[in-house]
Amino acid sequence: MKKVIAINGSPRKGWNTDTLLKKALEGAASVGAETEMVYLYDLKFRGCVSCMACKLRKEPRPCRCIQRDDLTAVLDRLHEADAVIMGSPIYFSEVTGELRSFLERFLFQYLNYDDYSKPLSSPKKTAMVYTMNCPEEWFPKVGYHELFQRYENMLKRFFGHCETLYSTETLQVKDYSRYHIASMDGDARKVRHETVFTQDCQKAFELGVRLASKQ
Ligand SMILES: Cc1cc2nc3c(=O)[nH]c(=O)nc-3n(C[C@H](O)[C@H](O)[C@H](O)COP(=O)(O)O)c2cc1C
């Protein structure tokens, strides 16, 4: 049975990123995968502290993070997983700090300084899921295609596979009239949430199916 783990880099349970990741896991479960959601904001952990223990000259090579905190058990389960789906809202044109810290720990242990082209990770299917306020028309101006391509390339280098899914102009609050948020049309966002976001949920479901499928 395939094991698919979603890593949620959003602090908001039940909101956009969470919903897409849940849909992706539903898709994976629909083709028989065992699934798990990890909420990074529930965990106490730090990014890589550059202790270099994972690079020590030992046989077999350690290539595993020795830091002990709430992420340790998650990294152990990810090591055995067939697929990992990482999700994050865009915060100031990047993934959240928590997802960045997670990625430092997840990836550095597999980085091979003897030969960068041969990471010490076994193949996995991976995906990055992003949600954001930004309309897609702004991407050339804000560089989000390049941002997403950079993450995709990095994850492909480590695991041999990565897909990207993004959802734009998401619903940020339920009632826009309660906030200083005049640049956004709350009614239009609600309509978009019921239409475009619903389609994005379907795309997330299909992503989960693909990641949990045999090939
Ligand atoms: C601290 C902060 C920074 C943000 N920065 C951006 C940004 O740079 N670009 C963008 O498109 N949206 C930005 N947003 C909006 C979120 O990306 C968007 O609301 C997202 O869908 C929230 O995800 P969630 O519903 O899973 O929490 C920001 C939101 C917050 C709270």
Q: What is the pLDDT of residues 7-59, one digit of tens each?
A: 999 999 999 999 999 999 999 999 999 999 999 999 999 999 999 999 999 98
Q: What is the pLDDT of residues 133-190, one digit of tens each?
A: 999 999 999 999 999 999 999 999 999 999 999 999 999 999 999 999 999 999 999 9
Determine if ligand 1 sits within 6 Å of the CB of residue 131: yes
Which domains does the chain possess? 3-212 (3.40.50.360)
Q: What is the pLDDT of residues 49-92, one digit of tens each?
A: 999 999 999 988 889 999 999 999 999 999 999 999 999 999 99
In this predicted structure, the answer to whether residue 215 has a pLDDT above a threshold of 80 is no
Q: Is residue 214 very low, low, confident or very high in pLDDT (cuts 50, 70, 90)?
A: confident
Ligand 1 atom at minimal distance to the Cα of residue 15 = 25
Strand 34-39 with 163-167, pairing: unpaired
Residue from 92, 189, 200 to probe ligand 1 pocket by mutation (most atoms less than 8 Å from CB): 92
The pTM (predicted TM-score) of the whole model is 0.98
Whether 19 contacts 201, CB under 8 Å: yes
Q: Give residue 124 CA to ligand 1 midpoint distance, Å.
A: 28
Residue 8 sits at φ, ψ, to 5 deg, of: -95, 110
User: What are the tokens at 192?
Assistant: 């978009």
CA dihedral 176, 182, 187, 190 (to 10 degrees): -60
Residue from 40, 90, 136 to probe ligand 1 pocket by mutation (most atoms less than 8 Å from CB): 90
Whether 207 contacts 130, CB under 8 Å: no
Report the half-sphere exposure of 201 (CA within 13 A, side-chain side): 15
